Amino acid sequence: MSVITIVGAGMMGSAMSIPARDNGHTVRIVGTPLDREIIDHARRYRQHLTMKRPLPENITYFQIEDLDLALDAADVVIGGVSSFGVDWFIETVIPRIPEGMPLLSVTKGLIDREDGTLISFPAYYKQKSNRQLSFCAIGGPCTSYELADRRHSAVAFCGDDPAVLLRLRQMLETDYYHISLSTDVTGVECAVAMKNAYALGVTLAVGMVEKEEGVGCTLAYNPQAALFGQSVREMSALLQYIGGGAENIVYGAGDLYVTVFGGRTRKLGTLLGRGMTFSEAMAELSGVTLESVAITRRLIRAVNRAVALGKLEAGQFPLLMHIGDLLEEKPTKGIPFAAFETTVFERR
């Protein structure tokens, strides 16, 4: 049995305690400065405050001041911050991870650079922290609620070191938590980050139909499917651009599927689809932090830079560009369905 320390007591980080405890590991959860109440609540009620799910027995909870204690003699650290916490994590947590201890991050997102390229969080961690830890990450379609409910979930662990990945899989795999492995960190991580933008894209069609027929109407699926197909097309082109393997579209498509069905990203896409401006929609979603919007903005910024530098053609990404216009509150003529048409005239 191993000792697993989860740093960041958000929903996804905390949900990782469930396969970890089911496999009999010692689990420690450390809250960030934003998680104080979650930690207090979990200690007292053995329940996650925001996820509203029971947490396994025999977890030790720590506030951030006791980080070193929680990391002592651990076998692996699971990074449980959201993408908003990444810089804090690099400054505060990574320097204190003991040499040789792998980090497995649940954080989804990517970083755009001045030259129009995109890098994954593991690559960013390595670069910024200047440490030689084994930086691994989890991608794939897995919501925290359903992992906590022990629903069958298929994810990918990615990292540079096959031996570390095999060990992490052995540690965390259960009969409901299914783990693929990949050393293509860029491919896996960028595929699953992109789905944030495209989940906004697909759900525009929900709002569009509601606008015509009234909220509560029978939804139409042809328009959603047109957007889903176009999302797969644009995500595949972006995967190729960033140098990720084509097979990672499996994670992009699966994660897009699960994201379309619920949560805040669907809500925002639906409101934009009804014709609200971005500010109106954000007012309606008051107080809700939208990680998906931040990730979408980064992706669009990177694509715009790559277009300016002649590395990509804007015309390849009509849906992403449309989402960008909506976020910038530029006037649009609606979802550019006609721009999705392709012509493939080649003899095979």
Q: Is 54 in the site for a second copy (CB under 8 A)?
A: no
Cβ(117)–Cβ(104) below 8 Å = no
Of 106-114, 115-123, 202-210, 274-282, which part binds a second copy (CB under 8 A)? 202-210
Determine contact, residues 309/115, Cβ cutoff 8 Å: yes
Residue type, 199: A
* Span interacting with a second copy, options 2-10, 54-62, 87-95, 340-348, rule CB under 8 A: 340-348
Among 33-41, 109-117, 121-129, 222-230, the segment contacting a second copy (CB under 8 A): 222-230
The residue with tokens 């949560």 is 263
**By CB under 8 A, is residue 149 in contact with a second copy?**
yes
Regarding 348 and contact with a second copy (CB under 8 A), the answer is yes
Comparison of 70 and 256: residue with beta carbon closer to a second copy: 256
Alpha-carbon distances of 132 from 89, 95, 128, 311, rounded to whole Å: 16, 11, 11, 31
Contact flag: residue 249 with a second copy (CB under 8 A): yes
- Nearer CB in complex with a second copy: 154/285: 154
Cβ 257 vs Cβ 141: under 8 Å:
yes
Pattern 88-107, binding to a second copy, x per CB under 8 A? --------------------
Q: Which of 147, 171, 194, 326 binds a second copy (CB under 8 A)?
A: 147
Residues 173, 169, 6: CA angle, nearest 5 degrees: 85
Q: How far apart are CA 148 and CA 127, in angstroms?
A: 33
Q: How far is the CB of 219 from a second copy (least distance, A)?
A: 8
Residue 174 CA to residue 325 CA, distance in Å, equals: 43
User: Based on the number of CB atoms within 10 Å of its own CB, is 24 exposed (0-12), middle (13-18) or buried (19 or more)?
Assistant: exposed
By CB under 8 A, tell whether 183 contacts a second copy: yes
Q: Least CB distance from residue 32 to a second copy, whole Å?
A: 25
CB of 26 to a second copy, least distance (A): 25
Please tell me the distance from the alpha carbon of residue 131 to that of residue 129, in angstroms, as a whole number: 5
Among 46, 178, 297, 311, binds a second copy (CB under 8 A): 178
Residue of 71, 179, 290, 320 interacting with a second copy (CB under 8 A):
179
Task: Please name the helix (run of DSSP H) or strand (run of DSSP E) that holds residue 85, with its range, or none.
Answer: none
User: Phi and psi for 118 in degrees, rounded to 5?
Assistant: -125, 140
The answer to whether residue 232 forms part of the interface with a second copy (CB under 8 A) is: yes
Nearer to a second copy, 125 or 228 (CB): 228
